[in-house]
Amino acid sequence: MSDATGSSVNQLAVENVQLVDVVTQQLESMLAVGNYDAVKRLLEPVQPVDIAESIGNLPTNLQAIAFRLLGKNEAISVYEYLDTATQQSLLTRLRSEEMREVVEEMSPDDRAQLFDELPAKVVRQLLSELSPDERKVTAELLGYEAETAGRLMTTEYIDLKQAQTAAVALEIVRRRARDTETIYSLYVTDAGRRLTGILSLRDLVTADPSARISDVMTADVLSVSTDTDQEKVARTIQRYDFLAVPVVDLEKRLVGIVTVDDVIDVIEQEATRDLYAAGAVQAGDEDDYFTSNLFTVARRRVVWLAILVVASFFTSEVIAANEEVLRRVVLLAAFIPLLGGTGGNVGAQSSTVVIRGLSTQSISALGPIKAVGREVLAGALLGILMMVLVVPFAWWRGESALVGLSVGFSLLAITTLAATAGAGFPLLFDRMGLDPALMSTPFITTCTDVAGTLIYLKIADWLLTNLPQLQQVGGISTHFLPFAVS
Amino acid sequence: MSDATGSSVNQLAVENVQLVDVVTQQLESMLAVGNYDAVKRLLEPVQPVDIAESIGNLPTNLQAIAFRLLGKNEAISVYEYLDTATQQSLLTRLRSEEMREVVEEMSPDDRAQLFDELPAKVVRQLLSELSPDERKVTAELLGYEAETAGRLMTTEYIDLKQAQTAAVALEIVRRRARDTETIYSLYVTDAGRRLTGILSLRDLVTADPSARISDVMTADVLSVSTDTDQEKVARTIQRYDFLAVPVVDLEKRLVGIVTVDDVIDVIEQEATRDLYAAGAVQAGDEDDYFTSNLFTVARRRVVWLAILVVASFFTSEVIAANEEVLRRVVLLAAFIPLLGGTGGNVGAQSSTVVIRGLSTQSISALGPIKAVGREVLAGALLGILMMVLVVPFAWWRGESALVGLSVGFSLLAITTLAATAGAGFPLLFDRMGLDPALMSTPFITTCTDVAGTLIYLKIADWLLTNLPQLQQVGGISTHFLPFAVS
């Protein structure tokens, strides 16, 4: 392997997009002419995740050939990164003996995830081929609910005993280093497998070789349960800058650990979910929007759209019911979208910051009552600022003080209301134990629209009935002191 | 420290909210009566980040006392987690000798971040008190641009030489374990400090003690430059499941490493930025929305609101210019918000998935042209599905076939247009090297509103001029075959 190629591959790796394209292209042409040595040389400096993506891009008939050219350890790493479709196709295309070995050696958590998506028949077949130990572990992981620590954890960790010396423990770490996911966090358990302490490999290598583990370890262990929500697990690792967190069952026995690499994916997934909720798109199981077909795309969007359209029917009803006011002052109609839009935007702003604040827990220091209070004040303040901009325009374009004043008063009411609803609903949902992102931004926007339109037309109606002379007061461009000339 | 308290503290830690409240409360009452031993016992099992938050919540006069009760190593960890205001207040309240020691021992990256926010005078003072080595490192980090690998990296890492044996290397790791941020990723450099290889501590402990580092290390190193954008650094660590990535300068000399814990914060920060953009809120430097004052809140929201309001003026103009159609068929006005809202929602959906796809790089496999093409088709498909729901309602509520058909045709046009704009603009911005999230969802929503209203009123105008008999066709409730009776 020339140094030049190695460094150029790694330069591309940071950009990642072109790297996969380049590797896929070269891989395909090398495989087409059967130049297998070149394939091996090509893939040597490439990271497993990039190899997996390149193999996934190959025509199906070449995937199995490329996969077979990998060394055994690399094959296992690459297989874990492949998308489910390619994983399944390789399972059927390669000899079952070869694949049994790969599946046997996969991390238990990655294997459980694969089994979760395979047809039941294939899972039964594969399970029966696993060694009893691996079979037990996989069945156990599959027994935990999705999106919990139990499902996310790996059962491969190193556990030590309090009475061992640092030297003995280091020897255990050495021996088990190859087949555990991490050797950097070490766990101490008692005879009943209960977790009694943790230490890092850093603690171990710096300890006096003759020191007892009980003297080196930290006894105050922070652990999560098998049923802890994955988001809470992620927040724990993030907050405390851990590399891993131990998972215990109801009897406080250590059953697994969750590592930081899985947690990054959870944080990303939760952010996508929040964003999709803000955009009225239903989140999929994975971040697979751009690989799913058009009907899946439509299905993930049509439900929210339909709900929002039906909610809009109420706005239409409000306008139709107040047809008379509009008939008398047609130009009032010109500002319905502006008011609805501004209310919607203020509501969207408030719900965005509150939903994100709940996700990142930055809102917790303030408390829900104060948070809503702040948003109400912010809404009113923004309403006043917008009035300065909007009232002169409405007065002039609506060709009367009636339109200008109706727009002005309702603008203030709408922004205040929108901020209240935008902050209040997600917090209420959170209190009720529901996902605050369910109270999605577009839903708040649409509700604000109904209420805002009603307020606007009622204010206009009241002004028209009680101060009809306002209608005669022309645009601001002709009368700077409109009340004086009425 | 009783075992019971330890485990209850750690149970609270996963929930984190109550833990900080409980600790703050107990801390305050213990400090008030001067029971310092109780404080020490209370804080023993608590993680540094929770201690930092609790101290941050205390009245200013108690903060310094609480901080002084911490052990030296713990004080340094806690100080790194304190918010900037508390960091500054401690700097002024405590004797400069005590603080010099804390600042001297901070991680270089955390120290650079602190200095970045301190007044220039304080920075000069502190810099002059640092040891020459630490001063040089801090000045260097401060020289890199914000949000780059250079600013994010720490200069504390372990570098080895190719000729060393594993036993010698392990001894170096042991000696330096206490003062480096991570000992789990090890770096091999040549005489010119150029990065020639990496190995993990796992590789080292499993290696034959007499093996040379050159035989144990991986020579194909993936590194980033000091000026690599922090998001790209984060994506690299996330994609390859690294614990750290090396940072090199233009001459390929190793100058630092970025560790996974910093990267999680970057991913979170970028997700918040995307979400805020989607909600038309300007992102702050930190995730500090709920701690900033009301005027900062208004400032971060008013600019976008004003832009959107001015954009709404165009919708008002379109309606005012088409006053005549509305005067003749007032009920047409009832569906303007519905059409604008639906267009806005479809546009928001498209821009949400595209902006997120660009952030997570899941869109890259598809390419921009195909991505827009898919969205256009999705928009049209959604438009047709919504027509089924909306046309009968509009026909009935608008009391004529004219309204029903105008709404139907424009609905299809608007959803298609909204999906095109929602997908196209962010991709265009990305191509032009601008942040796609700048083309925020509310902006697309508002633009769709203008175009949608224009299309709707023009279609209605055309139908009214060319097929005036449609106006006479009553609601769908009275005539099931409206064309037959016209």
Collect all residues of chain B within an 8 Å Cβ-Cβ radius of residue A47. Answer: 222, 239-240
The enclosing H or E element of B143 equals helix B132-143
Q: Which residues from B are below 8 Å from A274, CB to CB?
A: 271, 275
CATH architecture of structural domain B289-485: Orthogonal Bundle (1.10)
Dist CA A12 CA A183 (whole Å): 30
Each residue's pLDDT tens digit, B318-337:
998 888 888 888 889 999 98
Does B352 sit within 8 Å of A281, measured CB to CB? yes
Look at residue A217 in the predicted model and tell me its pLDDT: 93
Could you give the percent of chain A with pLDDT greater than 70? 91
The answer to whether residue A479 scores a pLDDT higher than 60 is no
Q: Give which of A239, A375, A446 to mutate to test B binding, by max B Cβ within 10 Å.
A: A239
Cβ-based contacts under 8 A for chains A and B: 408
* Confidence tier at B5 by pLDDT (50, 70, 90): very low
d(CA A449, CA A469): 29
- Which one of B45, B306, B377 has the shortest CB-CB distance to A389? B306
Query: Letter for the amino acid at A307?
Result: I
Query: Is-contact B449 B312, C-beta < 8 A?
Result: yes
Phi, psi of B424 (to 5 degrees): -70, -45
> Which of chain A's residues have a Cβ under 8 Å away from the Cβ of B223?
10
Q: What value does the mean pLDDT take over residues A211-216?
A: 94
Tell me: pLDDT of A286 over 60: no
Fold designation for B3-106: Annexin V; domain 1 (1.10.220)
pLDDT greater than 50 at residue A124: yes
Count of residues in chain A: 486
Mutate to test the interface with A, among B240, B382, B384, B385 (most CBs of A within 10 A): B240
Identify the residue among B289, B381, B382 best suited for mutation to test binding to A, counting A beta carbons within 10 A and taking the highest: B289
Helices (H), B219-293: 230-240, 260-278
Around B301, how many Cα atoms within 13 Å sit in the side-chain half-sphere? Answer: 31
Min Cα–Cα distance to chain A from B66, Å: 20
CB contacts of B330 in chain A (<8 Å) are 323, 326-327, 330
Residue B454 has pLDDT above 90, yes or no: yes
User: Rounded to the nearest 10 degrees, what angle do helices B132-143 and B108-117 cross at?
Assistant: 70
Q: Tally the residues of chain B.
A: 486
Lowest mean pLDDT among A385-394, B109-118, B246-255: B109-118
Is pTM beyond 0.80? Reply is: no
Nearest to A275 among B221, B236, B278 (CB): B278
Sort out which chain A residues have CB atoms less than 8 A from B45's CB and list them: 220
Strands (E), A180-317: 185-189, 195-200, 224-225, 244-248, 254-259
- Distance, in Å, from the CA atom of A53 to the CA atom of A18, rounded to the nearest integer, reads 12
Band of residue B194 on the pLDDT scale cut at 50, 70, 90: very high
User: How many angstroms away from the CA of B128 is the closest CA of chain A?
Assistant: 31
Q: Which CATH superfamily is domain B159-267 in?
A: CBS-domain (3.10.580.10)
pLDDT band at A368 (very low <50, low <70, confident <90, very high): confident
Checking if the pLDDT of A161 tops 90, the result is yes
Three-state secondary structure string covering A202-228: HHHHHCCCCCEHHHHCECCCCCEECCC
Nearest to B298 among A49, A174, A382 (CB): A382
Q: Which residues of A touch B274 (CB under 8 A)?
A: 271, 275
CATH 1.10.3080.10 fits A3-152, yes or no: no
DSSP character for A158?
A: -
Question: pLDDT (tens digit, 9 = 90+) per residue, B156-169?
Answer: 899 999 999 999 99
CA distance B341 to B448: 9
> Contact B312/A342, CB-based, under 8 Å?
yes
A208 pLDDT band, cuts 50/70/90, is very high
Residue-wise pLDDT for B339-371, tens only, equals: 988 998 899 888 888 888 887 777 777 778 888
CB atoms within 10 A of CB A172: 17
- Fold category of A159-260 in CATH: CBS-domain (3.10.580)
Contact A276, A283 (CB under 8 A): yes
Chain A residue nearest residue B292, CA to CA: A374
- Sequence spans of domains, chain A: 3-152, 159-260, 289-485
Beta carbons of B245 and B224 less than 8 angstroms apart: yes
